[in-house]
Amino acid sequence: MLRKNSRPIGKILMVLMLIFFYLPILYMIVFSFNDSKSLTGFTGFSLRWYQHMLESRDMMEALYTTFGVALAATLISTVVGTISAIGLSRSKKIVRDLLTQVNNLPLMNPEIVTAIGFMLLFITFRVEKGYATMLLAHIAFCIPYVMLSVMPKIRSLDPNLADAAMDLGATPWQALTKVIIPQITPGIISGALIAFTMSVDDFIISYFVTGSGVKNLSIMVYTMSKRVNPSINAVSTLMVVIITIVLLIINLAPGFIAKRQRAAEITKRKMVLPATLTLAVVVVGAITVSGLGARPSALPYAGQTLYLYNWGEYTGENILQDFEAATGATVVMENFDSNEQMYIKVANGEAYDILVPSDYMIQRLISEGLLQELDHSKLNCMDDLTEAVIGLPYDVNNDYSVPYFWGSVGIVYDKTKVSLEDLEAEGYNIFLDEKYRGDIYLYDSERDSFMMALKALGYSMNTEDPDELQAAYDWLVQCVETMKPEIVTDEIIDNMAQGRKAMGLIYSGDAAYVMSENENMGFYMPEGGTNLWSDAMVIPANAKNPDLAHEFINFASDYDGAYDNSSYVGYTSPNQQVMADLSGEGGDFEGINAYLPRTDNPNDEVFVFNDATRKIISNLWSKVKIAASNAN
């Protein structure tokens, strides 16, 4: 009776398990055909994100890199791992046991430890990070998986099999290829598939060992996930389709071949995997080379390369391609997700031609001598910029920087849940109004959260007074303990566009997108003041091509480049005409107050860098998040 009843229960559990695993994938595939930018609300069928993916050189190069590295790493690690496993099986027991433990270390190590180890290795030997270092790292971490798959098959063989083959006249090579290898082929194929999967899937190791703008799809997806970009669904769907086709071929091809030519089955099975991998590597390499194309030699910067280090999803759809077409240069862009991450690379001597840091970080880079002064005789863009972003405190004379985007921080709110009267009466203290308990977002940024608390208390956001910082900390602790907020980063954008909470702290450019997607959303900046921020283009002191960097600054600040940037990203352009056109009648942000930053409030401030204060705030914010975890 128990056995009969357990069968339907087991089937139900299996079905539920399959739904649990595959429903998110199905959800992703459906939303890859969504007409809008929303990642959660389906508004209609469209192929626009597939078109965007195919037109994006960055995405396609990431695709080529992913499969090129994966196929090459699989082929090499399979050969090396198989030979190593066979050789290990013939070694003395003490050597075999020692090397087996060494082989298992990378499997048991946290991946971040392995990644840092590879990074330090390449830095120590001054190996320039890029495609080669990524491939070497992938080969190294795939070999143990191949050996782990092959070793059990070898142990199951008769230890005298090779000797018997050689007694019958086979050479050692023939004994290996015609006797041993056919017997362990299933283990080799399993190891190769695991190696391929691990390579395609890897993010952490790839992220630490790459450079020079080389990135695979996992790095690209990570970058794209920082802001709303539905192309992430399209490229992920393409990955699912490719891997599904490969699995179907691997599983169905042997049976088909067996029916057509059973006599040659063994020979063909031995040749299918290496031949397929070799062909795929050649094809991917050819596509990559052809995709890069040759630059016309007549253009002024033909053959030169611009190394750009920028925030993820912070450039327009066409600006980089248009710049390359106009100059003949190649743009290699890497992305960072925090000013601090960018600073670490620059401070450690990594060379870029253009950086796009925020105001306070520019001040720090200037003070530490990590930037070079701009040659204003090579810049023709300054007259096109709005006066509001010229001569800001971090670079009074714009000796080092030219604005890229600017904006403010404020409160995005659902007009059906939050009244403007409450906002005007309470300002940032509305985040302590228990009427909205459990219905608010806090932004996971120590600077902006402390700005909000300090402004709510009537203090300057650049205060160095320990008592005022402590008061701001107490304010934030009260907020997280009584209001039960959800502390988020860029996921606030899509969540507020869907009206999931009553309000949240947000950057003005993100609020502009939210308001364009949902007419019930509003944006409010308290009269007590806010952060007036600016991200700007600067040239590092060790830039290899400052002339081309000046050319890019002009191009990005000119009308066409600035319009492409601002209309796509949604942040306010410093170009006066672009700003007027996008916010004016018929513009993308007509009637959206979040697009135009406030410039007439004396309480608004620009962040000033102070390392001692930054460390205090960072430590206090960590305690706030601990308090939030305990409260929830």
DSSP 26-51: HHHHHHTTBSSS-SS----B--HHHH
CA 402 to chain CA mean position, Å: 26
Give the SS3 label for residue 311.
Answer: strand
Least reliable range by pLDDT among 56-65, 304-313, 411-420, 460-469: 56-65
CA distances from 249 to 244, 471, 512, 524 (A): 9, 64, 47, 56
Q: What is the pLDDT of residue 288?
A: 46
Instruction: Flag the least confident range among 27-31, 80-84, 211-215, 303-307.
Output: 211-215
**CATH topology for the 58-284 domain:** MetI-like fold (1.10.3720)
Distance from first CA to last CA of the chain, Å, rounded? 45
Q: Which two tokens stand for residue 148?
A: 């782990």
> Token pair for residue 577?
């005409």
Domain 305-405+535-583 belongs in CATH node 3.30.230.10: no
Pairing of strands 401-414, 440-443: unpaired
Strands 401-414 vs 521-524: parallel, antiparallel or unpaired: antiparallel
| Site of tokens 């695979």 | 216
Strands (E), 280-375: 305-311, 330-336, 354-355
Q: Locate tokens 């030699």: which residue?
A: 297
How is the chain split into domains, by residue range? Answer: 2-34+43-50, 58-284, 305-405+535-583, 407-534+592-631
pLDDT class for 211, splitting at 50, 70, 90? confident
In the structure, what pLDDT confidence band is assigned to residue 274 with cuts at 50, 70 and 90? low
Lowest mean pLDDT among 30-39, 251-260, 420-429, 615-624: 251-260
Contact 534, 573 (CB under 8 A): no
250, pLDDT greater than 90: no
Mean pLDDT in the chain?
Answer: 87
- Residue 608's contacts (CB-CB under 8 Å, 6 or more residues apart) are 360, 363, 393, 394, 462
Neighbours of 290 (CB within 10 A): 9
* Per-residue model confidence (pLDDT) at position 290: 44
The arithmetic mean of pLDDT across residues 58-73, rounded, is: 89
The full 3-state SS of 548-616, as one line of letters, equals HHHHHHHHHHCHHHHHHHHHHHCCECCEHHHHHHHHCCCCCCCCCHHHCCCCCCCCCECCCCCHHHHHH
Rg of the Cα trace of the chain? Answer: 29
Cβ atoms of residues 493 and 513 within 8 Å: yes
- Kindly state the tokens that stand for 221: 């997806």
Stretch 365-394: mean pLDDT, rounded? 95
434 secondary structure, DSSP code: G
Rounded to the nearest 5 degrees, what angle is found at the Cα of 331, between the Cα atoms of 329 and 332?
140
**Least confident stretch, 68-77, 311-320, 426-435, 589-598:** 311-320
The yes-or-no verdict on residue 564 having pLDDT over 70 is yes
Cβ-contact 218, 202 below 8 angstroms = yes
407-534+592-631: CATH topology is D-Maltodextrin-Binding Protein; domain 2 (3.40.190)
What is the pLDDT at residue 319? 94
Query: Residue 595 pLDDT more than 80?
Result: yes
Provide the percentage of residues in the chain whose pLDDT is more than 70: 90
The pLDDT, as a whole number, for residue 165 is: 83
Weakest mean pLDDT among 4-8, 131-135, 347-351, 541-545: 4-8
What is the arithmetic mean of pLDDT over 300-314? 91
**Could you tell me if 365 and 371 are in contact, meaning their C-beta atoms sit under 8 angstroms apart?**
yes
Please report the pLDDT score of residue 300 as a whole number. 85
Range from 236-240, 336-340, 563-567 carrying the lowest mean pLDDT: 236-240
pLDDT tens digits along 489-500: 888 988 899 899
**Phi, psi dihedrals of residue 385, rounded to the nearest 5°:** -90, 150
**What's the DSSP call for residue 502?**
S
Give buried/exposed letters for 391-411 (b at 16+ CB in 10 A, else e): ebebbeebebbbbbbbbbbbb
CB neighbours (10 Å) of residue 107? 12
Residue 205 CA to residue 220 CA, distance in Å, equals 14
Residue listed under structure tokens 């600016």 = 534
> Do 305-405+535-583 and 407-534+592-631 have matching folds?
yes
Task: Name the residue type at position 401.
Answer: S
Q: Which of 394, 360, 400 is nearest to 379 (CA)?
A: 400
- Count helices and strands (H / E) in the chain: 25, 9
The arithmetic mean of pLDDT across residues 252-270, rounded, is 61
Most confident of 29-33, 108-112, 331-335, 528-532: 528-532
Backbone angles phi, psi at 280, to 5 degrees: -65, -40
**Closest alpha carbon to 336 in 364, 358, 309, 296:** 309
More confident residue, 236 or 612: 612
Do residues 573 and 566 make contact, with C-beta atoms less than 8 angstroms apart? yes
Return the pLDDT at 192.
92
Smallest CA-to-CA distance from 200 within 233, 239, 226 is with: 239
pLDDT of residue 225: 61
* 485 pLDDT more than 80: yes
Which three-class secondary structure state does DSSP give residue 503?
strand
pLDDT in tens, 408-425: 999 999 999 999 999 999
Contacts of 64 (CB under 8 A, 6+ apart): 284, 287, 288, 291
Q: How confident is the model at residue 293 (pLDDT cuts 50, 70, 90)?
A: very low
* Beta strand residue intervals within 270-362, DSSP E: 305-311, 330-336, 354-355
Give the model's pLDDT for residue 254: 67
Residues 480-504, buried b or exposed e (16+ Cβ, 10 A)?
A: beebbbbbbebbbbbbbbebbbbbb
- Lowest average pLDDT, out of 98-107, 252-261, 594-603, goes to 252-261
